[in-house]
Chain A
Amino acid sequence: MTIYNLTLAELRTRLDSRELSAVEVTTAYLDRIAATNHEINSFITTCNETAMAEALAADQALAAGDIAPLTGLPIAVKDIFNTTGLPTTCASNILKNYIAPYDATAIARIKAQRAVIVGKLNMDEFAMGSSNENSAFGAVRNPWNFKHVPGGSSGGSAACIAARQAAAALGTDTGGSIRQPASHCGVVGLKPTYGRVSRYGVVAYASSLDQVGPLTRDVRDCALMLQAIAGYDPADSTSVDTPTPDYQASLTGDLKGLRIGLPQEYFIEGLDSDVRKAVAQATATYRELGAEIIEVTLPHTAYAVACYYLIATAEASSNLARYDGVRYGLRAGNAENLIDMYMQSRAAGFGTEVKRRIMLGTYALSSGYYDAYYLKAQKVRTLIRQDFLNAFEKVDTLLAPVAPTPAFALGEKVNDPMQMYLSDIYTIPANLAGTCAMSLPCGFSTEGLPIGLQLIGKPFDEVTMLRTAYAFEQATEWHKRKPEF
């Protein structure tokens, strides 16, 4: 038995039976990270000392019978979550030396269960990117093929699960940043409904779109993680005060009477043939499992990417104004005056893509352009949301590809932002609609790269989405494959 190959659920059983201790599990993972991180570069910070202390505390709790679902389980978190006493860099030079003085709510919740945080994960700077190449700490490599990207922006989160460097990870998804890397790395990734998980303490990229979610090896683990982080938080005004259902209980495998919708706009030209084939095969599997497959339409899909890059960048231009060198973060040393200090600090602190988006967003909000860009985009967003609500009157969940292609090669799209942006074409609409969506493994390309299947659920109906995902996972073996290295 190799400890780091066990799922969260398997580790839980062994910790509860005292077959393994939290210290043994944590040690196994820290060793694994030490042995593999130079190849993957998925971690920005590993926290061996605090992790071992947390593992000891977890073992004491286990001995005392004080056991929560995540007690003693090794979890890594995207470096966008504030974690008390640890660097929280957002993969940016501007926060390179920033130590968070407080915990994000999601972190506080997993800590309350005595999970062990093994490290902070690489990402695209400020969650802006689809390849994890926009990081001040270097690109992350796809564990299935080091020449390929892991996807982004939660590239480190997806890669670390595929590479067995943590049993579960937390990421964030603003336009596909959990699902797309999950798809590219062959793991399960879930973006909850907007408002389901608190954003408090998560460094903001685009506030109306950002949502926290888990990346795991299988659907059961995903449900376990979602259970821990979901729920109303008075510190986040946009979190929704609605009961959190029992997600484990939703994993029945039963699909009787389930109606699955295929949005026709998602199967268009530009969709890679391997991806098309894998998704078609998954559709067939669902049919065999007893689900009814129905074609639906989401007519405003074509406008989603444009709409997203106006709203997300507008919000980002404002959210990132606080990095001004005044109170924390990078401050230019030789500035001549205030304006100069702002300009030099931000010029040195932000990477190219972040600057590009700040400029785009500033432009979209500028006097004289606001109506044509930002306001128009908000109207389109309403139409896109309505598309989903209409579709959900006919079906219980939607089935679609996650990304148009499997993981592309490192460097392939860095000089072509438009191509890069289009790789989020199937994931962005769920963020704009605010609904839940997830990616789960459904096949491999001829090159041997993983392909993900996207399920999009009704708002606040993660239960049905997880049930649908679990049934597929039970009927297939894709999630059991792991990269050889």
Chain B
Amino acid sequence: MNEEKKSKQNIACLSGTGVTKIFGMGKEKTVAVDHVDFQFREGEIVSIVGESGSGKTTLTKMLLGLISVTEGEICFQGKPRDIKGYWKKKEYWKGIQAIFQDPFSSFNVFYKIDQVLLDCIKMRGGTRLSYEKKVELMTEACSFVNLKFEELTNKYPFELSGGQMQRLMIARIFLLKPAILLADEPTSMIDACSRATILDMLLKLRDETNMTIIFITHDIGLAFYISDSIYIMEHGKFVESGPAESVILNPQAVYTKRLINDVPKIHEEWDLSTV
């Protein structure tokens, strides 16, 4: 099935075969991610759905290169990924970036917000730009996420609300413009109203820069709402994958059916028997 799709669409920008992560040794061995295969295509929004502890975050960290891969191979833009050493990693991170789950712990509380954005400009090679130009870039990035740079400058992260912090994270991505964005449950710590704005901004970002967004979530309804294709993850394995419509509307795996059933519905009685 995969071969068929590959021929139809453009080449995968991030793919993996037999990617495995094992923590510990001997009796205490934990297989967090168990031989998963995936292909994420350019400009696509992919969702990886699973419950807590299914290995989503471990997979994200492996994709980001923050932790090593125990077994298997990850290909980045058609070539096997090589991130040995600081410089290669830095180069890799120009192409792949992330938004984390908890905005409150994503910032270094000892530095002002400006520093985060200035670091992005620096990473894009803008070290020698004049200060005015840098401010202009930062203002642009902030206004993209409906924030006012003048109100944020010289503030510390803990002076902002959770929604503001998460939008600032998106502003960061806007400045970096990576090819791939890994969003690890970016809305789970935020109230429902801010959630919609955050999602809209992510979609807007995709439309503007043709970015691949890999959306990690436990909310299958949300995944259906935004994604082109969905991977369902259970105990470190992908139990089902494919285009969003076919996975949600015509689920094959038992686990997928259960996940869909568990979505609370307003007009029906909630079936708790499967829990």
Q: Do A and B bind each other?
A: no
Q: Which residues of A contact B (CB under 8 A)?
A: none
Binding site for A on B (CB under 8 A): none
